[in-house]
């Protein structure tokens, strides 16, 4: 399910036994996490304190990455680099790192749309070129057939119903299709999942772009990332880490405490269709609350920054 360039990057780990490779990967993940949190806590407009550290240790995405040993933390520096550069109006430099991340996780394309919506044409072109170069390296290493197979695999995902999927499509798949796990659907109408997810996800993205096109990247990052996760077919819980630039963890806790509910709670009372829609989809609702508060109900004009005065590069 990962791009060929990821397989190329992980190839050195194939020279050691699998348990050793997994341990090395976990160590790299933790080191990257510590570095990112240290830097982010010192680079944000509001400095973090012990309450923020405690909130991070307790929230659900922490447990998911620790348990699954995903590459979320390893990829995070690319996104933090883009955020930091864009805050300083270094749009081309940030676009290079963002383009690499875009190749690995296509749902980040919402940020590319934001660059276009804010008329930062050169940054958008730089990000696209960066992504194309990384993709070309993967093609050169493994051939076009492997890259085509990866794209086909992305389109053939059948486990969107999983409880850790916080996207709109995940919610719809759980409530309208038969889950081979423990959750029960509310209705059996699988034919509605894809069109409703497409329409709803598209609306979320369009509204977010319209609302944030005059905001700074500091103000826009969290809403854009939340929109990307909600609209993506696979907005997994562990990617919620990436919404942090632009917001303090302790503030996010008060904004949407549903993201701190332990994963095991999602299975309580099952099988029950109404519980699948509500309790079994808490992470979707947690993200959706953040989106509503940041995008729909935001009325603080001090968060607005006219793009007419922003640097255009």
pLDDT (tens digit, 9 = 90+) per residue, 226-253?
Answer: 999 999 988 999 999 999 987 889 999 9
Indicate the average pLDDT of the chain: 88
pLDDT tens for 135-160 read 899 888 888 888 788 777 777 667 78
**Structural domain harbouring 70:** 4-309
Residue 301, pLDDT score:
41
Residue 231, pLDDT score:
96
pLDDT at residue 310 above 60? Answer: no
Residue 149, pLDDT score:
82
Structure tokens at 257: 């405490």
DSSP per-residue codes, 252-277? HHHH-GGGGS-GGGGGTT-S-HHHHH
pLDDT at residue 312 above 70? Answer: no
Q: With left for phi above 0 and alpha for psi between -120 and 50, is residue 241 left, alpha or beta? A: alpha
DSSP conformational letter for 295: I
pLDDT band at 263 (very low <50, low <70, confident <90, very high): confident
Residue 180, pLDDT score:
64
Residue 299, pLDDT score:
58
Structure tokens at 35: 């570095």
Distance, in Å, from the CA atom of 289 to the CA atom of 226, rounded to the nearest integer, reads 10
pLDDT tens for 12-38 read 988 999 999 999 999 999 999 999 999
Distance, in Å, from the CA atom of 194 to the CA atom of 120, rounded to the nearest integer, reads 32
Task: Identify the bridge partners of residue 165 per DSSP, sorted by sequence position.
Answer: 236
- As for how many domains the chain has, the answer is 1
Residue 308, pLDDT score:
37
Which string of b and e fits 85-107 if b means at least 16 CB within 10 Å?
Answer: bbbeebbebbbbbbbbbbbbbeb
pLDDT at residue 181 above 80? Answer: no
């Amino acid at each position: 399910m990962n791009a060929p360039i990821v397989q190329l990057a992980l190839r050195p780990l194939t020279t050691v036994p699998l348990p050793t490779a997994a341990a090395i990967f976990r160590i790299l993940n933790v080191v990257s996490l510590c570095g990112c949190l240290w830097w982010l806590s010192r680079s944000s407009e509001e400095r973090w304190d012990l309450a923020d550290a405690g909130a991070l240790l307790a929230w659900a995405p922490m447990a998911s990455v620790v348990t699954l040993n995903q590459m979320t933390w390893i990829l995070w520096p690319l996104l933090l680099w883009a955020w930091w550069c864009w805050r300083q109006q270094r749009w081309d430099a940030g676009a290079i790192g963002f383009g690499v991340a875009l190749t690995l996780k296509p749902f980040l394309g919402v940020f590319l749309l934001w660059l276009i919506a804010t008329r930062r044409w050169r940054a958008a072109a730089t990000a696209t070129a960066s992504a194309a170069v990384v993709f070309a390296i993967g093609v050169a290493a493994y051939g076009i057939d492997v890259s085509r197979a990866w794209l086909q695999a992305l389109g053939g995902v059948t486990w969107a119903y999983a409880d850790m999927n916080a996207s709109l499509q995940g919610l719809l798949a759980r409530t309208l299709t038969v889950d081979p796990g423990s959750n029960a659907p509310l209705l059996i109408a699988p034919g509605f999942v894809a069109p409703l997810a497409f329409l709803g996800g598209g609306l979320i993205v369009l509204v977010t772009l319209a609302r944030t096109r005059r905001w700074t990247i500091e103000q826009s990052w969290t809403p854009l990332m939340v929109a990307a996760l909600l609209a993506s077919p696979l907005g997994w819980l562990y990617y919620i880490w990436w919404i942090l630039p632009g917001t303090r963890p302790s503030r996010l806790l008060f904004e949407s405490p549903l993201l701190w509910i332990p994963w095991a709670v999602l299975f309580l009372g099952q099988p029950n269709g109404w519980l699948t829609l509500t309790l079994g989809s808490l992470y979707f609702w947690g993200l959706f609350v953040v989106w509503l508060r940041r995008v729909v109900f935001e009325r603080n004009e001090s968060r607005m920054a006219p793009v007419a005065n922003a640097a255009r590069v």
